[in-house]
Amino acid sequence: MCVRAALLVVAVLGFGVGCGTAESTEPAAVAGGRIITKTVTAPAETPTPTAEAPATPKAVVPKPAAVTKRVVEYGVIPFKKKTVTDSELPKGERSVRTPGVNGTRKLTYEVTYVGGKQTAKKLVKQEVAKPPRSQVTVVGTKVEEESSSGCDPNYSGCVPIASDVDCSGGSGNGPEYVAGPVNVIGSDIYRLDADNDGIGCE
């Protein structure tokens, strides 16, 4: 009777152990009406290795292309200055005979751009688009000779230098007189040439 009860208990205990557990209890022996059990440990399940996700490739950013263009610029060519002498002008007198004008230079460059920004600039050609014109200044060198003879240099012959000179035999009141004819070679300061033909006291 005791043996049957023990077997029944073992059967019930054995039926109660669920499947898939890591540990199970099995009857080992029956001694003196007691059930001796032992624990059996199932081997741990080895986890299935998961495949690593492939790395996402980085997007490749294309480099901007270099663009070369021809650019034309214009520069100023300053005019030069020169001075000449003129023996017909009184000494020390200056005047501009020809005004100066600046010229124009045409410059052609090759300009390189990368991504819209200038990276290089090279001069490939230059030419004179408009030549400059030099400025010419005239300086007089004529020296007025003073008459040492007491004769006025505005007339040929010898017309005396005085506050006033009249033609001899005329209606003038002097104080000096001259017998004509005399040639007017400068300014008729004494008004000896009444008809303005270049000859006074005719």
Residues of the domain holding 115: 66-142
Does residue 150 share a domain with residue 121? no
Better-predicted residue by pLDDT, 28 or 119: 119
Does residue 162 share a domain with residue 128? no
pLDDT at position 37 = 55
Give the mean model confidence (pLDDT) for residues 7-21.
42
Number of domains forming the structure of the chain:
3
Does residue 96 share a domain with residue 155? no
Residue 58 covered by a domain: no
- For residues 84 and 136, the answer to whether their CB atoms sit within 8 Å is yes
Which tens digits make up the pLDDT trace of 179-201?
Answer: 878 888 888 888 888 888 888 88
Does residue 197 share a domain with residue 154? yes
CATH of the domain at 89: 2.20.230.10
Indicate the average pLDDT of the chain.
78
Does residue 104 share a domain with residue 132? yes
CA–CA gap between residue 11 and residue 30 (Å, rounded): 13
Residue 81 covered by a domain: yes
Residue 48 covered by a domain: no
Residue 95 covered by a domain: yes
Domain finish residue from 119, 142, 165? 142
Has residue 16 got a pLDDT over 60?
A: no
At residue 102 the predicted structure's pLDDT band, cuts being 50, 70 and 90, is very high
Does residue 137 share a domain with residue 87? yes
Does residue 191 share a domain with residue 157? yes
Does residue 24 share a domain with residue 91? no
Does residue 104 share a domain with residue 70? yes
Which tens digits make up the pLDDT trace of 125-139?
Answer: 999 999 999 999 999
pTM value?
Answer: 0.40
Helices (H), the chain: 2-16
Has residue 101 got a pLDDT over 80?
A: yes
CA–CA gap between residue 15 and residue 19 (Å, rounded): 10
Q: How far is CA 116 from CA 64, 119, 123, in A?
A: 9, 9, 20
Give the mean model confidence (pLDDT) for residues 113-124.
94
Residue 59 covered by a domain: no
Strands (E) located in the chain: 23-31, 34-41, 66-77, 81-90, 94-98, 103-114, 117-130, 135-142, 165-167, 176-178, 182-183, 199-200
- For residues 121 and 108, the answer to whether their CB atoms sit within 8 Å is no
Does residue 151 share a domain with residue 137? no
At residue 160 the predicted structure's pLDDT band, cuts being 50, 70 and 90, is confident
Does residue 133 share a domain with residue 74? yes
Does residue 181 share a domain with residue 165? yes
